[in-house]
Amino acid sequence: MRKTLTWLERDDPFPPVEAALKAPNGLLCAGADLSVERLLAAYRRGIFPWYSGGEPILWWSPDPRMVLHCDELKVSRSLAKNLRNKGFELRIDSAFARVIKACAEPRKGEPGTWISGEMQAAYVALHRAGHAHSFETWQGERLMGGLYGVAIGRAFFGESMFSRATDASKVALVALVEELRGRGFPMIDCQQRTPLLASLGAREIPRRQFLRRVAALVNYPEPPGNWERVSA
């Protein structure tokens, strides 16, 4: 029997992720809003928003799920050389709005972006609430690369990254992994498979296994807050 897509009104709860479609993989429901409360409720259940401008909000929970375990990060020789040379200054949470805006810029071979103005505003609100963080690589006062994601308890949900120089986003990812290790976060949710993430050590796991881990990690009593830091 073909599953139908659930439409959410503002106060409706999410349906169980087992109701997600297999094609397209993980599409669970549509509607509701992008309030801080709704986004936190989604991530706690292994759900994230992804849609193009002009569409209703679409919510996803794909199976399998791409994750990067912090102790499985792969650093290539060229990236290790870049890290040793310290061509970038690493900053955390110093320019969140600029990072998400840069992630939203059109990329070569892609017609547009899913990070609409509405999405940017929603994640800036999450950042102000202490749950969304940016890791940034700088050269002087030029923002060269970075990434952003959401932290709840000891679970980190990666969202997007960008690069304006070779390895700039990868340097930010290495810094993210180091920060998460220090804070006791064991893995990063990468949502869906990409060749770049796979080259860095991310791998797919069954959604059921992912959800079990997330359910435990989001309940750690880690208070939200700004992670701001600067390092050479």
Over 60: is that where the pLDDT of 128 sits? yes
Count of H helices and E strands in the chain? 7, 12
- Report the predicted TM-score, pTM, of the whole model to 2 decimal places: 0.94
The first and second tokens of residue 139, run together, are: 């050269």
Over 80: is that where the pLDDT of 50 sits? yes
Phi, psi of 143 (to 5 degrees): -80, 115
Over 70: is that where the pLDDT of 129 sits? yes
Q: How confident is the model at residue 108 (pLDDT cuts 50, 70, 90)?
A: low
pLDDT value, residue 154: 98
* pLDDT, averaged across the chain: 93
Q: Between 207 and 230, name the one with better pLDDT.
A: 207
Over 90: is that where the pLDDT of 125 sits? yes
CA 122 to chain centre: 14
For residue 207, the tally of other CB atoms under 10 A from its CB is 19
| CATH number for region 66-231 | 3.40.630.70
The first and second tokens of residue 165, run together, are: 């120089």
Q: What Cα–Cα distance (Å) separates residue 96 from each residue in 155, 170, 180, 227?
A: 19, 17, 18, 11
Give me the residues paired with residue 67 across strands: 189, 203
Per DSSP, 18 falls in state G
pLDDT value, residue 3: 65
Task: Determine the topology of domain 6-64 in CATH.
Answer: Alpha-Beta Plaits (3.30.70)
Residue ranges matching CATH 3.30.70.3550 in the chain: 6-64
Residue ranges matching CATH 3.40.630.70 in the chain: 66-231
The first and second tokens of residue 61, run together, are: 């929970």
The first and second tokens of residue 31, run together, are: 């509607």
pLDDT value, residue 111: 54
Q: What Cα–Cα distance (Å) separates residue 18 from each residue in 3, 23, 41, 194?
A: 11, 13, 16, 23
For residue 142, the tally of other CB atoms under 10 A from its CB is 9
Instruction: Determine if residue 192 is left, alpha or beta; phi over 0 gives left, psi from -120 to 50 gives alpha, anything else beta.
Output: beta
Q: How confident is the model at residue 1 (pLDDT cuts 50, 70, 90)?
A: very low
Per DSSP, 13 falls in state P
